[in-house]
Amino acid sequence: MTQRRPIVDALIRFQKRQPFSFHVPGHKHGVLSGLPEEIQSALSYDLTELTGLDDLHYPEEIIQDAQYLLAQAYNTKQSFFLVNGSTVGNLAMIYAACREGDKVVVQRNSHKSIFHALELARVQPVYVSPQWHEESMTAALASLKTIEAAITAYPEVRAVILTYPNYYGIASEELAAIIALCHKQDIPVLIDEAHGAHFQIGEPFPVSALSLGADVVVQSAHKTLPAMTMGSFLHVGSDRVSVKRIQKYLRMFQSSSPSYLILASLDDARAHLQNFSLPDIRSFNEKRERFLNSLRMIPQLLVIESDDPLKVILRVTHHSGYQFKQKLEQVGIEVELADLFQVLLILPLLKQWHAYPFAEIRSRLKEAVAMLQAESRQKTQIEIPILQDVTIPALSFEEIELADQEWVSYTQIIGRIAAGMVIPYPPGIPLIVPGEKWTLSKVEELMNHLAANAQIQGDHRLASKQLSVLQETQQSPNKS
């Protein structure tokens, strides 16, 4: 354990000098800012690559030291700070591990940033379907059997890209075996572990992908650790993916003017994790258990625990998660997301001296549930789609890009090849990606989301009930 925070300490030392600014950024330590005072005060630390503050892209001083401490904390070959979110980490690891035209196995319920990276890198995805997790009503990790089938069918695969845990904190007991299977054939395993930056603490949290032998892991430190939004980590765990190539693509994809506020928050988040003690763990467990037990006393509220103790799923009988979220917002509670069935809470990773108003939150939750019970019930059911375990898109990304497209009504979409993504957000997992065919089950799922007033991102014209597809003459039979 170490209390050192090299970047934070350097910024404090720098500001104690109270230097005059004749450098970027243009707000001049916040003097010219018209933002609220609370934000203005933070801008005195919003600096640039000045003497003593190092350079993120070629670190030799405080950032190098801070990233070394990060690698120590996660026991990695090398670790990096990301100031452009896990999106840039996903881009860098895929570009570093793959070449154009390579086949890569990809978990079908990956985040949209993974699909964007695949398209930009012009690789050939082999999609593996996830297992359905009945208790949380979500798609989880693909099974060992499915991954093995994909590698057997496509032995030329150059990488396997998985998401662990899923957004709801559902992990998998098969990940270690999947990694071992891939390594036996010298295939690197790349993990989007956006929601698992805190797993390195150990029990009661799931085992981290790094501890299980993953080759490259990207984590959103801002999701579960006390880092600022866009603050993430990238870890290299083996020699199967070149550190030099990772560095090359991070220099290309990350901002050339990195935020020192985000860097400082990443330095602080690492220290928070690295100094999370056994007394902190006991205190967290006790506070969490008292809170959940108090919620279980609220009539009609169902509390579902995840594999990750930071994630809690709440349902109200006969009401959708979107309805519940609306009532929670009315009583001043903002949740991480809602879906057709439930809302998701991400609990704070509290240390023993941290206080959180759980009693007040419980009172407001009870009020929201009562308000919801007074409303008409909503039928929320879903047909779990029967998917092929292993599939490839009907067309390549390049073929889709060159093809002519047209807008077609929802009622005429079945059997047509999608030209763009349609993404319920959050959680940001595409309902369909370019090159896949619209099926009846996918259209019905979209209709369910629309009926529940879910937010939908992507290529669509919702107002006119149209979606973007390839023109009929350019449809291609599925190659799977």
- Residue ranges of the domains in the chain? 6-275, 278-374, 393-470
Query: What pLDDT is stored for residue 203 in this prediction?
Result: 96
C-beta neighbour count of 303 within 10 angstroms: 17
CA-based nearest residue to 315, from 300, 298, 337, 335: 300
Residues of the chain with pLDDT under 70: 1-2, 378-387, 426, 428, 473-480
What dotted CATH number matches 393-470? 3.90.100.10
For helices 358-373 and 321-330, the axis angle rounded to 10 degrees is: 120
What dotted CATH number matches 278-374? 3.90.1150.150
CA-based nearest residue to 375, from 451, 329, 333, 316: 316
Q: What is the DSSP string of 210-272?
A: TTTT-SEEEE-HHHHSS--TT-EEEEE-SSSS-HHHHHHHHHHHS-SS--HHHHHHHHHHHHH
Query: What pLDDT is stored for residue 475 in this prediction?
Result: 57
CB-based contact 269:219 (threshold 8 Å): no
Q: Express each pLDDT in 114-135 by its tens digit.
A: 999 999 999 999 999 999 899 9
Query: What pLDDT is stored for residue 382 in this prediction?
Result: 57
Claim: this prediction has a pTM higher than 0.85: yes
Distance of alpha carbon 366 from alpha carbon 374, whole angstroms: 13
Q: Give the pair of three-digit tokens for residue 101.
A: 């035209």
Distance of alpha carbon 421 from alpha carbon 412, whole angstroms: 17
Q: Which contiguous run of DSSP H or E holds residue 159? A: strand 159-163
CB-based contact 215:189 (threshold 8 Å): yes
Handedness of CA 206, 211, 216, 222 (dihedral sign): positive
Q: Give the pair of three-digit tokens for residue 238.
A: 């083996």
Query: What pLDDT is stored for residue 442 in this prediction?
Result: 86
Look at domain 6-275 and name its CATH class: alpha beta
Residue 439's alpha-carbon distances to 143, 248, 432, 443, in angstroms, are: 23, 40, 10, 6
Query: What pLDDT is stored for residue 479 in this prediction?
Result: 45
Query: What pLDDT is stored for residue 232 in this prediction?
Result: 98
